Chains A and B, each alone.
Chain A
Amino acid sequence: MQQRICAKIQVNGEHIIAKVIVLCWLDLAVEKKTLTIKVARMLAEEVTNPRGIACLTYNSECVHELKRKLKILGVQEDKNVFIGTVHSFCLQVVLLPYGKLAGVALPYPFSVALPSEQIKFFERALAETVSPEENPSPWRTKMDYYRRTYLDRDKPEWQKSPQIAALIENYERGLRSSGLIDFEDMVLLGMHLVEKEPWIRKAVRARFPVLVVDEYQDLGIPLDRIVKSLCLNGGMRLFAVGDPDQSIYGFAGAKPELLKDLSNLPGIEAIPLRFNYRCGSDIIRASQVTLGEDRGYKSIGGYSGTLYFHECPDGINDQASQTAHPAASCGVFI
């Protein structure tokens, strides 16, 4: 089940092609292949030294995997090829080179807080702003979600929960006093810099005329805003891959609908991929029934596949335990 959206964005009369490829969980291999081949081709044909390409993906495992696949095609991480997470992109490509010059209020030089340091400052902030008696764990989840959701502190939404807002501000002050930032800071500060400073967009675009984003559905609002700022506003070309049906990181701030929204933006022409190389036609049909909409996906293998039905009379818990059972085979759990 695949969907590809090709998008063209008109910027200053110059044709810039942004490709957003949306694929499904049933055929990851094709998605990766398309992405890596595209990167290798652009480096060979379009993007020449000393300029390069920046590839962003979700986490360090994805980074590792992407590096491995690109290496097979002869693409090495280099001064002009960046392969990393959104966090490392924000830190290395935006915050470190330009943060001080742009006047970001940080202690220079700063370092990244270890998990133990984060816990220390979080617990201190919790005790000071809420109460020393609280259980830190649920508050930590709340704080992380809040920081990833309300990104603009000068807007009224930031005060939606004054208590959590105060907690976050206290926590961040603690980190700064020890010359630290955490992973969330990297992304937030990087995003604000990119949005606020045209010269930073210009400099990033000079280094990396092409931005490649893998696993778009998992990367959340800040990345979405960074991409829009750099590509729609800063003239970088975008090549993005993702599958809205596949996101499993909702708890971490992932918003699969962002991918669809991006592809629906004015000036963006979307071409979905329809061919699936891995599944039989029956499996594809059954999946579309499950999704509740006909996506028009087609199988390419020429076989129908077999559907096994497992009855789970005790509802969702039964479904879960049968699926997780080591002896469970593939099939539909109803």
Chain B
Amino acid sequence: MIQNFRNFKNFDIFLSDQSVIVGENKIGKSNLLFALRLILDPSLPDTARQLGLEDFWDGLSRPLSKEDKIIISIELSDFDDDDNLLSILADCLVNHDPMISRLSYVFQPVSGLADDPKKESDYEFLVFGGDSPENVISYDIRNRMPLDVMPALRDAESDLSNWRHSPLKPLLDDSSSRISHDLLSSIASQISAANNGIIEVEEIKSLSGRITAKLEELAGSYQAFETELGFTPADTERLIRSLRLFIDNGKRGINEASLGSTNLLYIALRILELEQLVGQNKRDHTFLAIEEPEAHLNPHLQRLVFQKLLRSRISQTEESDKSEHSKFTTLILTTHSPHIVSVSPIRSLIALRKTIEGNATEGVSTSNLDLSENDIADLERYIDVSRGEIVFARGILLVEGEAELYILPAICKLLGKNLDELGITVCSVHGTNFAPYIKFLGSKGLDKPFAVLTDNDPQTGKISLGIQRLISLLPLIGPNEGLKEMSPDEVKRLGQTHGLFLNDHTLEIDLFKCGQHKSICKTLIELSDNGAAKKRANVWNDKPDQLDIDRFLKDIDEIGKGRFAQRLSSNISDVPYPNYIMSAIEYVSKKCR
């Protein structure tokens, strides 16, 4: 929970053990990570924890009053099976069944301040566990369960080539601690011998002599220093540090690698380091945040790498302990990449967006979606194939099939609405299984404006399939009482107020009947190889009231619904469109404001 901090007025979000955070630029993704760092990052100095007046949410009226505080708190659960974590978090419990511990950061006027605070020095920060500010969270808690952030503007290349920042350093340190000193000394002396060998070569020797001489000439003998050429320092400790990673069979150094490879290597080394720290009992849990992990990786690599990283937990149940790190890691990614979103587990998505008032950021999370394993698999496949389109969209039109995918954008265009500009995506569920999509987009999921366009599919002597569909879908959106007692018309109207739009028959028939019969018959004639069908189309073109519905649908099926709709979308004309389509477009675009 974040209050009054930068973009956040009153922000609350549920993060699961894997979170993929999406949102437009400047919505506050980095600020969210910084808020977590204030509590959890052991490498953040206290001078950075002392925030400034500009860090208060902009919507607060200035000057700030004594009551205005920045409060950031995180609540952790599911740690009580791990004795180490429980031992760290036991003193911070705020609930015992289930066990939940809270860690908080508060930036507030110093206690005992008589007047309203005026300057930054009137403020202090506290980081504490549970609900008592005296229970200070110390460095050792942060150190046992730290937040590691790989920032968006990381310079993987320079970090890799600088010993002090290199993610290779802790790994080499650990490995070298297990090498016997004798072995190291013997290698060092061999290197020393090789060094001497090359130095003694006359041409080399004279070069270093010339360098030293030039230094002396420039700086005088007193300030100049000896130089010597060689491969690498030959004492045992520096020997290890001077090891470098090479690529392409040792021919090229990292600085010659592509940015993509360098970033990939960087991420791999950091994860190895995490595994090592857990293995050495230096820490019990890691919150690993990677900002824009897509940086410099081509789409295929993004998908490959993050598919492994994000889904490893699922496969892990079978291949036990294969990836140690995931058991002890909470992974947080912030991304703009559809490729990463497309491989994200369905319950890991977090979307940040502006509140209705427009002056703060709110977040929605899919972590608590009530979906069956099959629904999840279906949705994940859809998001994978569509490259996460509905996650990035501002509004969604859910439709039954391919035909609508062609027709709807065409109609919108003729209505003067550009779906791309509005951020509206048409999503086909390939059938009528709308429920998982509704849950995913509904208020307990991504909470985005959406409309469902579905066929009435009348049945003789029985209540239509479309009405039955509405009765089963409406409870997912809100009303679930008395639906069975309502008349079909009442259900249809109720559906409309909640974004479920039903036609009279099916898309093609409704289009035909609303006044598009000429463009439809034109399309039939253009595409059909069947002379009788062409003839029928000519008749219906002139006498639309003679339409034989069954025959008409069969003729379209012969061509193929998709193929038919594809062509129809260019033939469709500027006359009225079916009401349910107009209303659905209106409904979603109004909410996308």
* Set A49, A109, A203: member contacting B90, Cβ < 8 A: A203
Asked whether B90 lies within 8 Å of A206 as measured between CB atoms, the reply is yes
Asked whether B96 lies within 8 Å of A199 as measured between CB atoms, the reply is yes
In the docked arrangement, what's the CA distance between A49 and B140, Å? 10
Closest A residue to B83 by CB, please name it. A206
Indicate with 1 or 0, residue by residue over B80-104, a CB within 8 angstroms of chain A CB atoms: 1001101110110111110100000
Q: Is A32 an interface position by the 8 A CB rule? A: no
Asked whether B91 lies within 8 Å of A97 as measured between CB atoms, the reply is yes
* B residues less than 8 Å from A51 (CB atoms): 83-84, 87
Indicate with 1 or 0, residue by residue over B476-500, a CB within 8 angstroms of chain A CB atoms: 0000000000000000000000000
In the docked arrangement, what's the CA distance between A324 and B247, Å? 87
Closest B residue to A52 by CB, please name it. B87
* Set A48, A79, A80, A197: member contacting B96, Cβ < 8 A: A197
Asked whether A203 lies within 8 Å of B93 as measured between CB atoms, the reply is yes
Q: Is A202 an interface position by the 8 A CB rule? A: yes
Residues 184-209 of A at the B interface (beta carbon under 8 Å): 197, 199-200, 202-207, 209
Asked whether B84 lies within 8 Å of A199 as measured between CB atoms, the reply is no
Which has the most chain A C-beta neighbours within 10 Å: B84, B87, B140?
B87
Closest B residue to A205 by CB, please name it. B83
* Set A79, A101, A200, A209: member contacting B94, Cβ < 8 A: A101
Interface secondary structure of A, over-half rule: loop
B347 shortest CB reach to chain A, Å: 28
* A residues less than 8 Å from B281 (CB atoms): 48-49
B382 shortest CB reach to chain A, Å: 42
* A residues less than 8 Å from B135 (CB atoms): 97
In the docked arrangement, what's the CA distance between A209 and B91, Å? 16
Q: Is B130 an interface position by the 8 A CB rule? A: yes
Asked whether A50 lies within 8 Å of B96 as measured between CB atoms, the reply is no
Q: How many residues of A contact B (CB 8 A)?
A: 23
In the docked arrangement, what's the CA distance between A80 and B138, Å? 13
* A residues less than 8 Å from B138 (CB atoms): 79
Indicate with 1 or 0, residue by residue over A85-106, a CB within 8 angstroms of chain B CB atoms: 0000000000001101110000
Closest B residue to A203 by CB, please name it. B90
Closest A residue to B96 by CB, please name it. A199
Residues 92-126 of B at the A interface (beta carbon under 8 Å): 93-97, 99
Q: Is B455 an interface position by the 8 A CB rule? A: no
In the docked arrangement, what's the CA distance between A27 and B90, Å? 39
Which has the most chain B C-beta neighbours within 10 Å: A100, A102, A200, A206?
A206
* Set A49, A80, A97, A205: member contacting B93, Cβ < 8 A: A97
Asked whether A207 lies within 8 Å of B87 as measured between CB atoms, the reply is yes
In the docked arrangement, what's the CA distance between A200 and B93, Å? 10
* B residues less than 8 Å from A204 (CB atoms): 90
Indicate with 1 or 0, residue by residue over B350-369, a CB within 8 angstroms of chain A CB atoms: 00000000000000000000
Asked whether A101 lies within 8 Å of B88 as measured between CB atoms, the reply is no
Asked whether B96 lies within 8 Å of A102 as measured between CB atoms, the reply is yes
* B residues less than 8 Å from A205 (CB atoms): 83
A97 shortest CB reach to chain B, Å: 5
In the docked arrangement, what's the CA distance between A206 and B97, Å? 16
B83 shortest CB reach to chain A, Å: 5
Asked whether A50 lies within 8 Å of B284 as measured between CB atoms, the reply is yes
Asked whether B87 lies within 8 Å of A206 as measured between CB atoms, the reply is yes
* B residues less than 8 Å from A209 (CB atoms): 83
* A residues less than 8 Å from B140 (CB atoms): 50, 79
In the docked arrangement, what's the CA distance between A200 and B86, Å? 11
Asked whether A203 lies within 8 Å of B83 as measured between CB atoms, the reply is no
Indicate with 1 or 0, residue by residue over A270-284, a CB within 8 angstroms of chain B CB atoms: 000000000000000
Asked whether A50 lies within 8 Å of B84 as measured between CB atoms, the reply is yes
A16 shortest CB reach to chain B, Å: 14
Q: Is B546 an interface position by the 8 A CB rule? A: no
Closest B residue to A100 by CB, please name it. B131
* Set A48, A109, A197, A200: member contacting B132, Cβ < 8 A: A109
Asked whether A199 lies within 8 Å of B83 as measured between CB atoms, the reply is no
* A residues less than 8 Å from B86 (CB atoms): 202-203, 206-207
Q: Is B336 an interface position by the 8 A CB rule? A: no
Closest B residue to A92 by CB, please name it. B91
A86 shortest CB reach to chain B, Å: 19
In the docked arrangement, what's the CA distance between A50 and B283, Å? 9
Residues 227-260 of A at the B interface (beta carbon under 8 Å): none
B42 shortest CB reach to chain A, Å: 14
In the docked arrangement, what's the CA distance between A180 and B132, Å? 18
Asked whether A101 lies within 8 Å of B93 as measured between CB atoms, the reply is yes
Q: Is B313 an interface position by the 8 A CB rule? A: no
Closest B residue to A48 by CB, please name it. B281
* Set A48, A80, A97, A199: member contacting B97, Cβ < 8 A: A199
Indicate with 1 or 0, residue by residue over B47-88, a CB within 8 angstroms of chain A CB atoms: 000000000000000000000000000000000100110111
Indicate with 1 or 0, residue by residue over A35-73, a CB within 8 angstroms of chain B CB atoms: 000000000000011111000000000000000000000
In the docked arrangement, what's the CA distance between A52 and B144, Å? 14
Known contacts A50-B284, A51-B84, A109-B132; A207 and B90 CB within 8 A of each other: yes
* B residues less than 8 Å from A52 (CB atoms): 87
In the docked arrangement, what's the CA distance between A55 and B304, Å? 52
* B residues less than 8 Å from A98 (CB atoms): 93, 96
* A residues less than 8 Å from B96 (CB atoms): 98, 101-102, 197, 199-200
Indicate with 1 or 0, residue by residue over A133-159, a CB within 8 angstroms of chain B CB atoms: 000000000000000000000000000
* A residues less than 8 Å from B95 (CB atoms): 101
Asked whether A50 lies within 8 Å of B130 as measured between CB atoms, the reply is no
* B residues less than 8 Å from A109 (CB atoms): 132
In the docked arrangement, what's the CA distance between A205 and B83, Å? 8
A306 shortest CB reach to chain B, Å: 54
* A residues less than 8 Å from B80 (CB atoms): 202, 206
Closest A residue to B143 by CB, please name it. A50
Asked whether A50 lies within 8 Å of B93 as measured between CB atoms, the reply is no
* B residues less than 8 Å from A203 (CB atoms): 86, 90, 93, 99
In the docked arrangement, what's the CA distance between A80 and B130, Å? 18
Indicate with 1 or 0, residue by residue over B259-300, a CB within 8 angstroms of chain A CB atoms: 000000000000000000000010010000000000000000
In the docked arrangement, what's the CA distance between A204 and B132, Å? 19
In the docked arrangement, what's the CA distance between A40 and B99, Å? 32
* A residues less than 8 Å from B91 (CB atoms): 97, 207
In the docked arrangement, what's the CA distance between A197 and B93, Å? 14
In the docked arrangement, what's the CA distance between A98 and B92, Å? 9
B562 shortest CB reach to chain A, Å: 59
In the docked arrangement, what's the CA distance between A52 and B87, Å? 9
In the docked arrangement, what's the CA distance between A48 and B90, Å? 17
Closest B residue to A109 by CB, please name it. B132
* B residues less than 8 Å from A97 (CB atoms): 90-91, 93, 130, 135
B327 shortest CB reach to chain A, Å: 17
* A residues less than 8 Å from B284 (CB atoms): 50
* Set B88, B94, B97, B132: member contacting A50, Cβ < 8 A: B88
* A residues less than 8 Å from B144 (CB atoms): 49-50
A84 shortest CB reach to chain B, Å: 16
In the docked arrangement, what's the CA distance between A51 and B132, Å? 22
Closest B residue to A200 by CB, please name it. B96
In the docked arrangement, what's the CA distance between A200 and B131, Å? 17
A47 shortest CB reach to chain B, Å: 10
In the docked arrangement, what's the CA distance between A202 and B90, Å? 9
* A residues less than 8 Å from B99 (CB atoms): 199, 203
In the docked arrangement, what's the CA distance between A50 and B138, Å? 13
Closest A residue to B140 by CB, please name it. A79
B139 shortest CB reach to chain A, Å: 11
> Can you sample 22 A-B contacts with CB below 8 Å?
A49-B281, A50-B84, A52-B87, A80-B87, A97-B90, A97-B91, A97-B93, A97-B135, A109-B132, A197-B96, A199-B99, A200-B96, A203-B86, A203-B93, A203-B99, A205-B83, A206-B83, A206-B84, A206-B87, A207-B87, A207-B90, A207-B91
List 7 A-B pairs, minimum CB-CB distance, nearest first.
A206-B86, A203-B90, A206-B87, A207-B87, A199-B96, A206-B83, A97-B91
19 extra A-B contacts, CB within 8 A, seeds A50-B84, A98-B96, A203-B86: A50-B140, A50-B144, A51-B87, A79-B138, A80-B87, A97-B90, A97-B91, A100-B131, A101-B95, A102-B96, A109-B132, A199-B97, A199-B99, A202-B80, A203-B99, A205-B83, A206-B83, A207-B91, A209-B83
